[in-house]
Amino acid sequence: MSARRAEPYRIKMVEPIAVTTREYRRQAIREAGYNTFLLRSKDVYIDLLTDSGTSAMSDNQWAGMMLGDEAYAGSRNFFALEQAVQDIYGYPYVVPTHQGRGAEHLISQILIRPGDYIPGNMYFTTTRAHQERAGGTFVDVVIPEAHDPANPHPFKGNVDLAKLQELIDRVGPERIPYLSLAVTVNMAGGQPVSLENMRATYELCKRYGIRVICDATRCAENAYFIKEREPGQAGRSCREILKEMMSYTDGCTMSGKKDALVNIGGFLATREFEVYQKATQLVVLFEGMPSYGGLAGRDMEAMARGIYEMVDDEYLSWRILQVRYLGEQLLQAGVPIVQPVGGHAVFLDARAFLPHVEQATYPAQALAAALYLDSGVRGMERGNVSAGRKPDGSEYFPRLEMVRLTIPRRVYTDRHMDVVADSVISLYRRREEIQGLRMTYEPPTLRFFTARFEPLGGMLSQA
């Protein structure tokens, strides 16, 4: 057997992608206001904007799509989904939602009262927005290593128990309806949480009657890191590890569009009947009946099947190693990236990449635009633009100013990763040619999706 690894699947259907000229891309990124979210997909060569909803489904999932039971109530696909969540996560109660933020909306409205505090191991955009909308204040309790791109801590997503304790002492446990625990932590670079930290966090929360609600969006990838890195875990399956992880939580929100390998779908799951009952009351207003939650029966079937596929050890190993394969090529060339390489993406450290560009002129946004111009590779800004503004109107200026190169699951080959690496490395060698941007349009919330910019000079402004 060769020591080299290859994809643990073969290709049954192909989708052509556009190879364009630099001039074409210059026009396209200008029309998109230098915001990669506003590019048209048809103009993108390798699309690393997100791993959300971009997975390739398996033949087994597509076969399940044909078994869609589109009954308005009691669809058999709902029961398949419920069974999958019970088997793999261990929660008794499940409410489907159209995607992860639908579940975030439900849990935030059910549990948060105005004036509450919601600690979390780093914010995620939609999660925090729903918490704030319900009147809560998000408090970051991730370990400090998570904010340092070069720190090699193996579990950079861990909760800082001292910070959590300090918050409990300061505001009182009655003002903390739950701790929001993301596995893995997207904004830190796809960094995992250890089993030991999950257990300790749960124990601390239980002492004060505080719930732990997991953001399980990339929980299977987190389980793989535990298997790989945590002492005593190597001999267990990711499926077993995941079940134990979830046993240290009271419920979860899940975007099926990531680890569960579907193009649309999500759910809220809980161990508490009362929370479940409130969710069934709310879901009918915002998503649909509790037995479909805004999804077609066929979507629920595909997600049910994806949940079993996502914990396959062979698949998970290949998945994580493909992301690492890209990251290691960049590291060897001296390109500053978040380390260790996370589960779903390679994050370019735009501040270290472009030290001459001030954070107020959005270095990560400029770097993402330059990468598209260079090779048609689309990444995503995850820095000052994504962080938005504080309630007082000032910018957050987060320590992490990054471009995320997010790898869709089962979509691209390692050869695509080589092309991406070549382009990033060549830009790094010409980094002085990249200058910052000025924002010309800013929407009031989640501005990164639709903000527009113009270049302040450098390669982006050349005719």
Q: Which residues bind ligand PLI (CB under 6 A)?
A: 50, 52, 99-101, 124, 126-127, 182, 186, 215, 217, 255, 257, 266
- Output 99 or 423, the one with its CB closest to ligand PLI: 99
> Which amino acid, one-letter code, is at 137?
T
Write down the least CB distance from residue 319 to ligand PLI, Å.
16
Active-site residue, 215 included: yes
Q: Minimum distance between the CB of residue 28 and ligand PLI, rounded to whole angstroms?
A: 21
Closer residue to ligand PLI (CB): 130 or 351: 130
Q: Which of 78, 178, 428, 448 is catalytic?
A: 448
Is 69 in the active site? no
* Nearer of residues 226 and 380 to ligand PLI, judged by Cβ: 380
Closest approach, Cβ 183 to ligand PLI, in A, equals: 9
Q: Has 124 been annotated as catalytic?
A: yes
Adjacent-strand bridge partners of 346: 405
In the complex, minimum distance from the CB of residue 184 to ligand PLI, in angstroms, rounded to a whole number = 8
Q: Rounded CA gap, 420 and 416, in Å? A: 6
Of 194 and 255, the one with the shorter C-beta distance to ligand PLI is: 255
CB atoms within 10 A of CB 463: 4
Q: What angle do CA 29, 34, 36 make, to 5 degrees?
A: 80
Identify whether 418 is a catalytic site residue.
Answer: no
337 neighbors 347 (Cβ within 8 angstroms): yes
Residues 175, 111: Cα–Cα separation, whole Å: 11
Residue number, 39 or 460, with CB nearest to ligand PLI = 39
Select which of 50, 125, 127, 253 is catalytic: 125
| Residue 125 a catalytic site member | yes
Least separation in angstroms between residue 70's CB and ligand PLI is: 22
Catalytic residue, from 9, 72, 208, 397: name it. 72
How far apart (Å, rounded) are the C-alpha atoms in residues 218 and 227?
Answer: 15
Distance between CA atoms of 239 and 151, rounded to whole angstroms? 29
Active site annotation includes 353 = no
Cβ atoms 56, 28 nearer than 8 A: no
Catalytic annotation, pick one of 124, 292, 362, 428: 124
Cβ atoms of 357 and 437 closer than 8 Å: no
Question: Contact 119/370 with Cβ under 8 angstroms?
Answer: no
Q: What tokens appear for 409 in the block?
A: 């699951």
Active-site residue 382, yes or no?
A: yes
> Would you name the residues annotated as active-site residues?
72, 124-125, 215, 258, 382, 448
